[in-house]
Structure 1
Amino acid sequence: MFTQRFSKALTIGTVCCSAILPSAAFAAEKVVLTYGPFARSVPIQEFETLASTGKATGELAELLKLAKEDPKEAQQFLTYDVKVDPITVDGVLNTAPGEFLLSELAKVVHTKSDRANVQALRSALVLSASKNDSLTLLELLQNYPTAELYIDGVQLKKDVKEVNSLLGSVHSYLNHLQCNCSSATASAPTGQ
């Protein structure tokens, strides 16, 4: 009971502070993409430009070119809008499954010090949802509560492989469950 009240008070406080104080005090200024010993820093402004124009600039343009990614697809990924209620987001993220999800996500997206990652993600998600009852990846980047947001490329690649493997297993299982209805109907007795 106390935890729920505290959580709601914290959420309301975060939203109120964000409305009163300048947004730069709470917003990430750059995304640092790491891949093992390598790191590249991309200003949030470049993600904003890509989201609004579909054109990549600066460091982000170089990274997309290296990854052979289409800027238009990256734009769609950044701006894909999920309608959500901020109270629901806060409630779900403060449950055991929500905490687990945040802790898994925090292995990929984290602070420079790699501390308070779950809290930073929760704050960014709730703040993003509270602004317009929706979430986009761009809003998450913009509302991350530290100057730098780190994305671990090695962990991301590992997680994508695991998710793809899981999706492949689910797809195979669902295909196995599908009946061959036309064959079953043709061989069924007619009841005459």
Structure 2
Amino acid sequence: MIRAWSRALRTSLASGMAVALCVSALAGPLATPALAQGDFTLTSPAFNDDGWLPDDLKCTRDGGDGVTPPLTWGDVPDGTQSLALIMHHYPKGTVEGRDAPSQYWLLWNLPADTHALPRGNPASLGDEGADKDKKRIGYTPPCSPPGPEGSYHDYTITLYALKAPLEALPDHDDMSVNWDTMTEALQGKVLDSSSITFRN
């Protein structure tokens, strides 16, 4: 369901609809997205789509390094001027279509000729917004949820190919950028997008 919501959101962004209208529309049946992902496909050498996050990429509390996962993609659409990325998760107690999800990674101003983000993004490509708790800038590494053995959460990473830079956002890391400000900045700028989901 998380991925279905994400696909619906991407359709809304591409058509230039307001985020509020998208959220309201999601209260009913989900529409089929107008954008086909085609060959612009986001993958990771660390996990498969719908696969499990490797132990070394988990948060430090769970024994991992807590760094960003490696990501790769190809066939960036013609006319792409910039790339942006969002990783999100719906925590317990939130409702898709009503509540904003938790933001685990907000990244924009990635050069259009970028085709990968290595593990940990050592070159610090792009600009980053606030973490999940809005206490610092950057990536929030996922921790395993409390509960019975086998409990897990789904996390979705979406890469956006943009026809124009996100001029509404700063050209530097900025704590003020959150889910709402970034998704609003994406309005009308999305040429195509691709998502990958993992479990932890």
TM-score, length of structure 1 as denominator length: 0.29
Larger radius of gyration: 1
Q: Which has the larger strand fraction?
A: 2
TM-score, length of structure 2 as denominator length: 0.28
